[in-house]
Each structure stands twice: as C-alpha cells, then as structure tokens.
Structure 1
Amino acid sequence: MAENKPAAVENAYASSHVNPYGRVDEEVAMVAEKDGRRKKRMKCFMYVAAFVVFQAGIILIFALTVMKVKTPKFRVQSASFGTFDVTTLNTNPSFDINMIAELGVKNTNFGRYKYQNSTIEFYYENIKVGEASIPNARAKARSTRKFNVTVNLSSAEVPREVLERQFAASTVISLSSQSILRGKVEIMKIMKKNKSTNMNCTMEINTSSRQLGNLSCR
C-alpha cells in the first residue's frame, strides 16, 4: 500500500496538469475551418459577380450592335440609257431621254428592312422632269438590295431660256433625285421599328458620251 501511494500521487499530479495546449489546438482548428468556409464563400461570391458582369457586358454589346436599329441608305448607284434625244442648239434646245437607273437600298441592320411602295423623282433646275415607281420589297439583313427603274426624262416643262443658258455653258444635263422609303426593320422576329430613309442625289448626264457622271448622294 505504501508503494502504491507515490503512483497514486503521481497520477493525481498528472491529471491535474493536463496539456493546456489541447484546447488551444481545437480552437485554432475551428478558426481555420471557419476561415476556410469564409474564403470559399468569398470565392463563390466573386465567381457569381464575375458571371453577372460578364452577362451584363454581353447584353450591352448585344444591345449596342445587334439590337441597335440604323437608318438604311437609299441611293442611285448607276444608270444606262435607251432613247437619247438631245438638242443643244439655241433655236430649240430640249432633251428626251429614257434612263434605266440602278437603285440600291443598303441595310446595315441585323434584321431585314421591309419597305412600302414609293416613287423617285428627278429634277432639272428644281423642275421635275421625270418620275418612276418603286415597288415594295425587302432588303435582307446586312446586305444591299439592288433593282432597276425606268424613267423618261423630258424637258417639256423646262423654260426655253433655262435650257439655252445651260447648253450655252455646257453640254451636260445636271439632275437631282429625291425619294422617301418608309418601312420597318425587323430583328429576330421579336422587334420591329419604323424607319424612313431619304434619297438626295445629284448627277450629270454627259450628252456627248451618253454617260452618267459626278454621281453624289448624301
């Protein structure tokens, strides 16, 4: 019994001096675990935020490009001639010309442009000398629709003194053309927007070479 006493005392001493670092290690582990979970949550939040920003950027680019509707351009592109009767003499100046004009509707949108019937008018010294009909049609997305119209250009309504002054200075016939196309741009069959385009072109017919020149549109 006497021999067991020191052992008992030793055990009691050991139990009263438990390793004080065990609890600290547990707390450190818990803090590390919480910190790890916090970092994972932050990483997930960053991923979600980056995805939202990316999606917003895609939507913005889509809105500024695909969904943005621009006004189509309507222009005279070239012309050829059939009947070509021109008199430049001062005694009886006149012209009677059959012109086949090539027109173009340039549609830069990502949807087709459907336009209605219209007319194109040609002027000489602000006097209308010809007119042609434009049938309704469609210009495909990101393309130019080209078509021909035939118009008879006649100086019947032009005062003689105007023609005399013109042909005394030059052998070219200066013309301007005007027209308005009214229609709708349809994008992805979900959005339709009314768009009208105005033609305003100037050109010259060289009566010697029977060619169209100095064609300018704005």
Structure 2
Amino acid sequence: MAPSTIMPKSDTDESSTYKSMELRKKKRMKRLEDINVINKKNGSIRHTAQVRIKNNNFGRYKFDSNMTTLTSGGVLVEEFVIPNGRARLKSTKTFYVIVDVTNPSNSDTEGFHPGLLQLTAKVELTGKVKFTMVLKKKKSAEINCTISINLSTNFVQDLICQ
C-alpha cells in the first residue's frame, strides 16, 4: 500500500474554520458607507451617511427600529434612529441618515478646532429571519464604527467598522 498523503483535520482546525465563517457572516450583515462632512456656520458639522443592512439569508430579515449613538471621547454627541424595516432575501436595505453634530467640548463657541475629530457610532439591530413562511429565527447585528474626520479638509480619513 502507498502512504496516505491526506492528513486528517484536527478538532482545532474545524472550530477555527467555524469561527472564521461566523465572523465573515457577521461582517456581511452590516455596513456604514458614503459619509460626507459639511462644516456649518453655526459651529456644527453635518454628516450624511449611508447605512446598509445586508441580508445573506434565504429568508427575509425583519428588524426593529433602534437608537444609534455617536460619541466623541466617551461624550455623547448625537443620537439618531434607524427605523424598522425589512431586507428581502439575499438583498441589502439602504438608509440615508443626516446628523448634525455640535461641538462635543462646548468650550469653543467658534466651532470645531481644525484637526481630527474621532467619532464612534454604535447600534444593535435585532429582528427575525423568516424562512419559508413557517420557521422564524431571531438574529441580531451590531454596528460599531470608528470614524476619523479631518476638520480642516472636511474628509473622512478613517472608517473602521467591526
């Protein structure tokens, strides 16, 4: 007999593969894109962003409305609502949000200082996936993004979502 060239997989390989598949699945369910920044004359900054909820399931995902918080350095800057809705099977639901952010330090009445503004956006979407009109399964997706905005150029330098 010839020696076997196929090596059996260990249990650790299978568990790490399962974890990586779950991580990829979670990454595909949420997205925050197309952020525009406008400095306003009253010292605030207006953000327009596109929030996408991607559904890779073979059933529709019906989610509840949730409050999204924007913080800067641990200080609450603004809150906005992602309304309830549905994402069809294998499709993406897109929302456009407009948020006016006032100066988080409140020490400067002239507006934000030129430099870098770090914002953190957090929300947890909860809902149900409905398979073939019979089976319903609870699913949740957590959006946790860090946004670095260059205030002198009004551009987003970094956008990191987990």
Give the shorter-chain TM-score range.
0.7 to 0.9
CA distance in 2, matches of 1:79, 1:123: 16
Q: TM-score, normalised by structure 1?
A: 0.55
- Higher fraction of strand: 2
User: Which residue of the partner structure matches residue 125 of structure 1?
Assistant: 73
Q: Tell me what 1:153 maps to.
A: 101
Residue 80 of structure 1 is matched in structure 2 by 36
**Separation in structure 1 between the aligned mates of residue 154 and residue 68 of structure 2, nearest angstrom:** 21
Say which SS state the counterpart of residue 189 (structure 1) adopts.
coil
CA contact (8 A) 1:73 1:106 kept: yes
Quick check: 1:75–1:201 contact (8 Å CA) kept in 2?
no
Could you tell me the percent identity over the aligned residues? 31
* Equivalence for 1:98: 46
Per-residue deviation, 1:123: 0.7
* Bigger CA radius of gyration: 1
Alignment partner, residue 204 of structure 1? 148
| Distance of aligned partners of 1:145 and 1:213 in 2 relative to their CA distance in 1, 3 Å threshold | farther
Q: Distance in 2 between matches of 1:113 and 1:99?
A: 27
How many residues are matched? 134
In the other structure, the counterpart of 2:9 is none
Question: Any gaps of 5 or more consecutive residues in structure 2?
Answer: 1-24
Tell me the alpha carbon deviations over residues 89-113 of structure 1, each in whole angstroms, 9 at most, x when there is no partner: xxxxxx5111111101111111111
Taking the aligned partners of 2:67 and 2:139, their CA distance within structure 1 comes to: 17
> Does the Cα contact within 8 Å between 2:38 and 2:154 map onto a contact in 1?
no
Q: What are the superposed Cα offsets for residues 51-101 of structure 1, whole Å, 9 maximum, x if unpaired? A: xxxxxxxxxxxxxxxxxxx65722321212345359xxxxxxxx5111111
Question: 1 or 2 for the larger relative contact order (CA 8 Å, sep ≥6)?
Answer: 2
SS at match of 2:35: strand
* 3-state secondary structure, aligned to 1:209: coil
Distance 1:85 1:172 in 2: 18
Distance 1:85 1:203 in 2: 22
Which position in structure 2 is the counterpart of 1:194?
A: 138
Relative to total residues, which structure has the larger helix share, 1 or 2? 1
Distance 1:213 1:144, change over 3 A: farther
TM-score, structure 2 length as denominator?
A: 0.73
Matches within 5 A, 1:170-181: 171-181=115-125
The residue type paired with residue 125 of structure 1 is G
